[in-house]
Amino acid sequence: MRLVFLLVLVIGIGTAGYAAFLIQGRFETYQTRVNQLENELRKTREQVVETTPVVATATRLNFAHRLVAEDLKIINWPTADLPENVFSSIEELIGDPEQDTRYIKRRLDAGEPLMSTKVTRFGEDIGITTLLDPGTRAFAIPVDAVSGVSGFIQPGDEVDIYWIGQDQDRTTTRLIMEKVKVIAIDQKSDQDELSPSLARTVTVQISPDTVASLLQYRASGQLSLALRGQNDSTTSGPIITDINTLLDNEIIAVEEEKKCYRRVRRGTEVTEVEVPCDP
């Protein structure tokens, strides 16, 4: 009887140990799976980008377009890369029905965020004054086919301004301004106008302290424009050129021959007679 009891006890202990072994293995498997899921959840959270609602264009809008609610939509923009002066709601941009409308200052592509710099204020006319940055002035430069780059300059382009005039009895060319923004061609400020035309006047945006300088340059010589490439931020620095620079001629000062004179009186008349100079 004791033998049977001991046998049953041994079998029971073995069975319990084997069950515990199986449970421990299953637990370790579950724990490994839980750790994997936690890692995947952590990676997913790291990949989630925080966004902010932003008003954007629902379709392509041209210059001077009268803005209405149907032109707009809400998109989610990454908060970390949120542009300045954006609108967060269509109501904020359109305003109340009793308020005046807004106009587009330049062509906008579909899906482009709306910023306060791209639209007029409520009731503001769309014209050159709305295109000027704060603290700047509009300055008109007369041009022809040569000085105006054959009509290929368009509103929104950037140009360099050269002056050609007399400097100490020599015709000199100077680079006087770089990266100057063009805001109008003749009477047109529409940046969507792509066909070249021979203009008579190019209006540029400059700072107030340079207006007087350009007026003086324009009065004393001729101003010519050089069209810059898109997104070209390079600067050339001071450039002054004349014919001697082009021909690589050295200007040598010629010493004038010394001449000596002696005053001779003949009656009441006094004259000067050239004589050899003393060594």
Which three-class secondary structure state does DSSP give residue 253?
coil
Domain limits, the chain: 51-126, 133-247
Which three-class secondary structure state does DSSP give residue 184?
strand
Tokens describing residue 198: 């021979």
Distance separating alpha carbons of residues 21 and 17, to the nearest angstrom: 6
> What is the full DSSP assignment across 197-238?
---SEEEEEE-GGGHHHHHHHHHHEEEEEEEPPTT-------
Residue bearing the bigger pLDDT, 142 or 100:
142
State the pTM of this model. 0.53
Q: Which of 225, 246, 151 is nearest to 195 (CA)?
A: 151
Task: Say what percent of the chain tops pLDDT 90.
Answer: 14
Q: How confident is the model at residue 16 (pLDDT cuts 50, 70, 90)?
A: low
pLDDT at residue 12 in the model: 63
pLDDT at residue 246 in the model: 73
Tokens describing residue 142: 């007369």
155: Cα separation from own chain's centroid = 14
Distance separating alpha carbons of residues 142 and 40, to the nearest angstrom: 66
Query: Does residue 90 carry a pLDDT above 60?
Result: yes
Burial of 227 (0-12, 13-18, 19+ CB in 10 A): middle
Q: What is the pLDDT of residues 132-172, one digit of tens each?
A: 888 899 999 888 877 767 678 888 889 999 999 988 778 88
The separation between the first and the last C-alpha atoms of the chain, rounded to the nearest angstrom, is 157
pLDDT at residue 274 in the model: 73
Find residue 76's DSSP bridge partners: 53
Q: Which CATH number fits domain 51-126: 3.40.50.150, 3.30.1490.20, 3.90.1210.10, 3.40.190.10?
A: 3.90.1210.10
Query: Does residue 248 carry a pLDDT above 80?
Result: no
Q: What is the pLDDT of residues 101-110, one digit of tens each?
A: 888 888 888 9
Give yes or no for a contact between 277 and 264, defined as CB atoms under 8 angstroms apart: no
Q: Which helix (H) or strand (E) holds 14?
A: helix 2-47
Q: What is the mean pLDDT of residues 64-71?
A: 86
Task: Say what percent of the chain tops pLDDT 70.
Answer: 74
The per-residue pLDDT of the chain, averaged, comes to 78
Within a 10 A sphere around the Cβ of 120, how many other Cβ atoms?
21
Largest alpha-carbon pair distance within the chain? 178
Q: What is the pLDDT of residues 22-41, one digit of tens each?
A: 666 676 676 777 777 777 76
Distance separating alpha carbons of residues 184 and 196, to the nearest angstrom: 13
Residue bearing the bigger pLDDT, 228 or 242:
228
Query: Does residue 237 carry a pLDDT above 80?
Result: no
